[in-house]
Amino acid sequence: MSVIGYGFRQGMKNIWKNRLFSLAAIGTISACLFLLGLFYALIGNFRNIVKNMESSVGMTVFFDEGITEERMEQIGEQIRNFDGVKKAEFISAQKAWQDFSREMYGGDSELMEAFGKENPLKDSASYEVYVDDVSVQKKLVPLMEQLDGVRKVNSADTVAKGLGRFNLLIAYISVSIIVLLFLVSVFLINTSVATGIRVRRSEISIMKYIGATDAFVRLPFVIEGIVIGVIGAVIPLVLLRILYERILAFILTHFSVLSEWLTFLSAGELFRVLIPVSFLAGAGIGFLGSSLSVRKYLRSIR
């Protein structure tokens, strides 16, 4: 414990002695993590919107003529038991005709009366099937077509493929930008800690000559880097929380019509992930940057 206490005290002294460089490192990490958080908020909401769009892309299951209501219910239960199915909603022939006539004739009773009491879509009862991930549609369609009593299954293959590819593209872009920001932050913390090492070069050399281990020498600088990284994570989290809540409130207040088709993540949902990720990223950047810098110097004096 005394070694850790010494390392912590020396690390904090290093931060204070090199406060200008420490502030520069904190500011840089804060800027990088702010951009990371901002990017995550945009991508997270974008993916949430796409996911909700995916869940609205359904498949329509049509039945054989003359099928009984009991068999239709059984098919519905079988469909709901398939992996990946979010909801299977039964559309009766009567409802199908009402929806069709409303779309085609705009509810014009005179045009609808031309058909009399007969339902032109009497054999058009169906199930509207919705999934959490459109990528499973390709697997589900043949499974549903094999069910006894199912005539055909209509699916939006083009839309499903497009949304799937779009999600993949977002994932690739996200990883690329996160890696880039991480590397920039590591480089900057490395530079800051290296400055502290240069200031204490003679002290470190003396410690090594009297038998101090590499771990003992490295500890204060590693703690310094981690503390800088953690402080650098707190600042953007506070700013992002305030900014996100205000922007979200502004959009929902002034553009309420958007909420019908754009579903944004709440601040709680967003920061449930962003807080631990930011702290881990900040501490990780500080640890990695300081470790690399100290290791390089220790090798140079051997």
Question: pLDDT tens digit string along 156-191?
Answer: 665 556 666 766 777 777 778 777 777 776 676 666
Task: Name the band, by pLDDT with cuts 50, 70 and 90, for residue 200.
Answer: low
Quick one: 44 and 104 in the same domain? no
For residue 20, give the amino acid letter.
Answer: L
Q: If you average pLDDT over residues 238-263, what whole number do you get?
A: 79
Give the separation between CA 79 and CA 72, rounded to whole angstroms: 11
- Residue range 23-33, pLDDT digits in tens: 877 887 888 88
Quick one: 197 and 232 in the same domain? yes
Give the separation between CA 84 and CA 67, rounded to whole angstroms: 26
Task: Look over the chain and give the mean of its residue pLDDT values, rounded to a whole number.
Answer: 75
Quick one: 165 and 279 in the same domain? yes
C-alpha Rg value of the chain to the nearest Å: 31
Q: Which residue among 94, 122, 155 closes a domain?
A: 155
For residue 288, give the amino acid letter.
Answer: L
- 212-238 burial, b for 16+ CB within 10 Å, e for fewer? eeeeebbbbbbbbbbbbbbbbbbbbbe
- 128-164 burial, b for 16+ CB within 10 Å, e for fewer? ebbbeebbebeebbeebeebeebeebebeeeebeebb
- Residue range 208-238, pLDDT digits in tens: 777 767 777 777 778 888 888 889 899 999 9
What pLDDT is attached to residue 276?
A: 92
Between residues 192 and 12, which one has the greater pLDDT?
Answer: 12
Q: Is the pLDDT of residue 42 over 70?
A: yes
Q: Are 18 and 195 in contact (CB under 8 A)?
A: yes
Among candidates 40, 32, 25, which has minimal Cα distance to 184?
A: 32
What pLDDT is attached to residue 235?
A: 92
Q: Which residues contact 261 (CB under 8 A, 6 or more apart)?
A: none
Quick one: 85 and 149 in the same domain? yes
What pLDDT is attached to residue 215?
A: 74
| Range in 3-12, 145-154, 281-290 the model is least confident about | 3-12
Q: Is the pLDDT of residue 38 over 60?
A: yes
Backbone φ and ψ for 85, nearest 5 degrees, come out as -80, 125
What pLDDT is attached to residue 241?
A: 92
Could you list the residue range(s) of the whole structural domain that residue 86 is in?
Answer: 58-155
Quote the number of domains for the chain: 2
Q: Is the pLDDT of residue 108 over 70?
A: no
Q: Is the pLDDT of residue 112 over 80?
A: no
Q: If you average pLDDT over residues 262-285, what whole number do you get?
A: 85
What pLDDT is attached to residue 234?
A: 93
- Residue range 131-144, pLDDT digits in tens: 877 777 778 888 88
Quick one: 49 and 186 in the same domain? yes
In sequence order, what are the beta bridge partners of 63? 150
- Residue range 51-107, pLDDT digits in tens: 676 666 678 888 887 788 888 888 888 888 888 888 888 877 667 556 555 555 555
Q: Is the pLDDT of residue 1 over 60?
A: no
What pLDDT is attached to residue 100?
A: 55
Give the separation between CA 23 and CA 217, rounded to whole angstroms: 23
Q: Which residues contact 265 (CB under 8 A, 6 or more apart)?
A: 41, 44, 45, 48
3-state DSSP assignment of residue 117? coil
Q: Which residue among 114, 137, 155 closes a domain?
A: 155
Q: Which residue among 155, 185, 218 closes a domain?
A: 155
Q: Which of 185-199, 250-264, 278-292 is the most confident on average?
A: 278-292
Quick one: 197 and 285 in the same domain? yes
